[in-house]
Amino acid sequence: MDSHILYQFNFKIKRMNLINQTPEVSKTCRFFIRAIKNAAFILLLTILNPLYTNAQDDLIINTQGRKTVSLNGTWHYIIDPYETGFYDYRLRERRKNDGGAYWNKFVPKKKTDWTEHGYQAPYNIQVPGDWNSQDPQFLYYEGTVWYQRNFDTPDVTSGEDVYLYFGAVNYEAHVYLNGKKLGMHKGGFTPFNFKIPAALLKDKDNFLVVRVNNERHQEEIPTVNTDWWNYGGITRDVKLVVVPQEFIQQYHIQLAQDQDIIKSQQLKKYDIKGWVKLNEAVTDAEVSIEIPELKVKRQYKVTGDSLKFEFDVKKISLWSTDNPKLYDITLKLNGNPISDKIGFRKIEVDGEQIKLNGKQIFLRGICIHEEIPQEVRRAHSKKDAAQLFGQVKELHANMVRLAHYPHNEYMPRMADSLGILVWTEIPVYWTIDFGNPEVLKKAQKQLKEMIVRDRNRASVIIWSVGNETPVSETRTQFMSTLVKDAKKLDPTRLVSAALEVGYNEGKNYVDDPLGEYTDIVSLNEYLGWYGGLPDACKTAQWETKYNKPFFISETGAGAKGGFHDEKEMRFSEEYQKWFYEEQIAMFKERFPDNFSGVSPWILADFRSPRRNNPDYQEGWNRKGLIDNKGNKKLAFYVLQQYYKELKEKAGH
Ligand code: GCU
């Protein structure tokens, strides 16, 4: 925007402000002036810079199955706690062509030229990766960091478009290319992409800048208070996605949920349903679906921007924890292919049981944070996923709760190939501003992004809309809206949330009103850690108001790895072992019949600014079964033994 216009605009407003001095006119007058001011400002922004307000194009799914160019690697950065790159010294937003704006490259041409920002070594930072683990100056940093790199335009034919795709940026990202704003995104754990106008692309040295801010705010998701480290930065893969001008943007293909899978097996007739969403409407185009192993080859004529399809197959190997069968699938629009690997399975609740492919299944779970504790950093790669799942498998677990936010896409994709069931969640965590409609919109957006990205992952069986949110009318209204949204977005999976329960020696009664809406009743209980000693489990009784599957989404106790003492000693490995022994005995002897699984808190110690016991915590939540150096604690083997027994009994 041209500064002098803005200046005049402001000046006019200032003059109008004078009118506000006279009290009787002021109230109504002020209201109208503000309304006019805001409306006019947005209008002006929209007219002058339509690109600016375009928050985000529709998400492109399965970038792994498309033509992409990675932009991972070494980027440059500027730490900008005072937002100097965005605002001038009068805290006015900098003009688009302002040489002092950090989205602009300013190369001094003559001796008298000067600039006060630039992107070069040694100010290097790795992408993907949080900034906190890359340099001690960033360890506790919450604020703005500007990221920059150049890239050359890949080979693009005239019929193709280029999109810029981010796996995730924590928390708020403003993206600029060659001095122009492509858009912004909020939410630290879900992907987003922007179409790059062809006219904006240069063959060489495109100047890409991302302003990243990870400050916490009451009205955001998550809000200011969490029990995990607020890792900032471009934390996941960045890539250019090259697609035909008309392409398949999203799709879903799975066993039709409304079929009786046992009958389908008997009749050797499996009903497969799905849909395809295109980036724009087409006329008389052709979409084809090929699943060679199932001898499926179907063509459909399409006019418009979407297609629904349904067909059945005689023989199929159903995806399950002991048979993680994935089929190669190719979808084409006018011959342009996108490939994917998909497992076919049915997940459902039948009364008080969770059933996978028509058979009851008990969830032997474990909670995971998206972190590699040995390196004190966010996990982001296939290798990181392999490390975490390696430990999960060692536990004989068949399920993971990815807490408390959607993890990187390598996680559900690896779970698909390993046969591990997945609970994935949006960070509606603790004291969210439930009464604020804007906050609900933010939660709904993150929920949609989570479901859109992972809806083709057979391993994902549960969408969770939140964790330990305090019971109130407003909260239940907020949360039940999310449950309904999830069911609309994807009726083929279960929806839940981690509820809270009170402790007492006698009966623990689960009656959280949100349990009315969820498919399974999941709760976090810490009887023996936050409530009493582990012996309390010996007498505790449990009952839920709901005739639904009952799932323990968290239970656990702290232990500093290598600290040994009598079992009564808090933070000793012996206490944690005692805790697990008593919990497991309680599960076996005193839990209701609808008990359908448990995911203890947590696989490994993780960073938390809330944990400051100088002897035992030192900024770590120590409830891991594996310590921050990767060593297994005594309790790891207690849970491993319990799961081994269950696995042998279940036969899978
Ligand atoms: C809570 C919460 C976790 C937290 C854990 C703990 O239940 O959901 O995020 O880390 O308890 O207290 O260790």
pLDDT in tens, 476-495: 999 999 999 999 999 999 99
Q: What does the pLDDT average to over 622-638? A: 98
For residue 227, the CA-to-ligand 1 centroid distance in Å is: 6
For residue 467, the CA-to-ligand 1 centroid distance in Å is: 9
For residue 526, the CA-to-ligand 1 centroid distance in Å is: 9
Q: What does the pLDDT average to over 301-330? A: 97
**Which residue has a Cα nearest atom 4 of ligand 1?**
227
pLDDT of res. 628: 98
Q: Is the CB of 467 under 6 A from ligand 1?
A: yes
Distance of CA 208 to the CA centre of its chain: 24
For residue 557, the CA-to-ligand 1 centroid distance in Å is: 10
pLDDT of res. 25: 53
Would you call the peptide bond into 564 cis, given omega within 30 degrees of 0 as the criterion? no
Q: Is the CB of 249 under 6 A from ligand 1?
A: no
Q: Is the CB of 161 under 6 A from ligand 1?
A: no
- Taking the C-alpha atoms of residue 328 and residue 318, their distance in angstroms, rounded to an integer, is 14
Q: What does the pLDDT average to over 110-134? A: 96
Band the pLDDT of 27: cuts 50, 70, 90.
Answer: low
Would you call the peptide bond into 412 cis, given omega within 30 degrees of 0 as the criterion? no
For residue 621, the CA-to-ligand 1 centroid distance in Å is: 9
For residue 294, the CA-to-ligand 1 centroid distance in Å is: 44
Q: Is the CB of 605 under 6 A from ligand 1?
A: no
State the closest ligand 1 atom to the C-alpha of 524, by its place in the atom list counted from 1. 7
pLDDT of res. 509: 83
pLDDT of res. 39: 57
**Whether the Cβ atoms of residue 523 and residue 509 lie closer than 8 Å to each other:** no
> Which mutation among 553, 612, 621, 622 tests ligand 1's pocket best, with the greatest number of atoms within 8 A of CB?
621
pLDDT in tens, 385-401: 999 999 999 999 999 99
pLDDT of res. 652: 87
Model confidence at 66: pLDDT above 90: yes
Q: Among candidates 523, 513, 453, 524, which has minimal Cα distance to 483? A: 513
Q: Among candidates 274, 276, 278, which has minimal Cα distance to 307? A: 276
Return the structure tokens found at 482: 């999310």
Model confidence at 24: pLDDT above 70: no
Q: Which carries the bigger pLDDT value, residue 21 or residue 372?
A: 372
Q: Return the sign of the alpha-carbon dihedral for residues 593, 594, 597, 601.
A: negative
pLDDT of res. 40: 61
State the closest ligand 1 atom to the C-alpha of 226, by its place in the atom list counted from 1. 9
Amino acid identity at 93: E
pLDDT of res. 140: 97
- Taking the C-alpha atoms of residue 427 and residue 189, their distance in angstroms, rounded to an integer, is 9
Q: Is the CB of 362 under 6 A from ligand 1?
A: no
Q: Is the CB of 320 under 6 A from ligand 1?
A: no
State the closest ligand 1 atom to the C-alpha of 429, by its place in the atom list counted from 1. 8
State the closest ligand 1 atom to the C-alpha of 621, by its place in the atom list counted from 1. 13
State the closest ligand 1 atom to the C-alpha of 554, by its place in the atom list counted from 1. 7
Q: Among candidates 398, 442, 339, 481, which has minimal Cα distance to 647? A: 398
Q: Is the CB of 454 under 6 A from ligand 1?
A: no
- What percent of the chain clears pLDDT 70, i.e. is strictly above it? 90
pLDDT in tens, 248-276: 999 999 999 999 999 999 999 999 999 99
Model confidence at 12: pLDDT above 80: no
At CA 305, angle to CA 301 and CA 310, rounded to 5?
55
For residue 403, the CA-to-ligand 1 centroid distance in Å is: 10
Instruction: Show contacts of 320-323: CB within 8 Å, 24+ apart.
Output: 320/345, 320/356, 320/357, 320/419, 320/652, 321/356, 321/361, 321/398, 321/419, 321/420, 321/421, 321/652, 322/419, 322/651, 322/652, 323/419
Cα separations in angstroms, 243 against 278, 283, 337, 342, 589:
12, 18, 10, 22, 57
Q: Is the CB of 601 under 6 A from ligand 1?
A: yes
pLDDT in tens, 541-574: 888 889 999 999 999 999 999 999 999 999 999 9
At CA 388, angle to CA 382 and CA 394, rounded to 5?
130
> Which mutation among 601, 607, 613, 622 tests ligand 1's pocket best, with the greatest number of atoms within 8 A of CB?
601
For residue 429, the CA-to-ligand 1 centroid distance in Å is: 10
Q: Is the CB of 623 under 6 A from ligand 1?
A: yes
Q: What does the pLDDT average to over 454-460? A: 98
Q: What does the pLDDT average to over 269-296? A: 97
Q: Is the CB of 66 under 6 A from ligand 1?
A: no
**Which residue has a Cα nearest atom 7 of ligand 1?**
524
Q: Among candidates 437, 224, 405, 264, which has minimal Cα distance to 344? A: 264
pLDDT of res. 505: 58
Q: Among candidates 415, 402, 411, which has minimal Cα distance to 464? A: 402
**Which residue has a Cα nearest atom 10 of ligand 1?**
227
> Which mutation among 371, 401, 554, 611 tests ligand 1's pocket best, with the greatest number of atoms within 8 A of CB?
554
Q: Among candidates 330, 331, 326, which has minimal Cα distance to 287? A: 331
- Taking the C-alpha atoms of residue 576 and residue 17, their distance in angstroms, rounded to an integer, is 64
Amino acid identity at 214: N
Q: What does the pLDDT average to over 117-125? A: 97
State the closest ligand 1 atom to the C-alpha of 608, by its place in the atom list counted from 1. 10
Beta-bridged to residue 371, according to DSSP, are 378
Q: What is the DSSP letter of 602?
A: -
pLDDT in tens, 388-443: 999 999 999 999 999 999 999 999 999 999 999 999 999 999 999 999 999 999 99
Mean pLDDT in the chain? 92
pLDDT in tens, 189-243: 999 999 999 999 999 999 999 999 999 999 999 999 999 999 999 999 999 999 9
- Taking the C-alpha atoms of residue 352 and residue 335, their distance in angstroms, rounded to an integer, is 46
**Which residue has a Cα nearest atom 9 of ligand 1?**
227
pLDDT of res. 510: 85
DSSP per residue, 456-525: T-TTEEEEEEEESPPP-HHHHHHHHHHHHHHHHH-TTSEEEEEEE----SSEEEE--GGGGTSSSEEEE-
Q: What does the pLDDT average to over 137-161? A: 96
Q: Which carries the bigger pLDDT value, residue 44 or residue 546?
A: 546
State the closest ligand 1 atom to the C-alpha of 468, by its place in the atom list counted from 1. 8
pLDDT in tens, 29-38: 655 665 665 5
Backbone angles phi, psi at 428, to 5 degrees: -80, 90
State the closest ligand 1 atom to the C-alpha of 530, by its place in the atom list counted from 1. 12
- Taking the C-alpha atoms of residue 10 and residue 26, their distance in angstroms, rounded to an integer, is 19
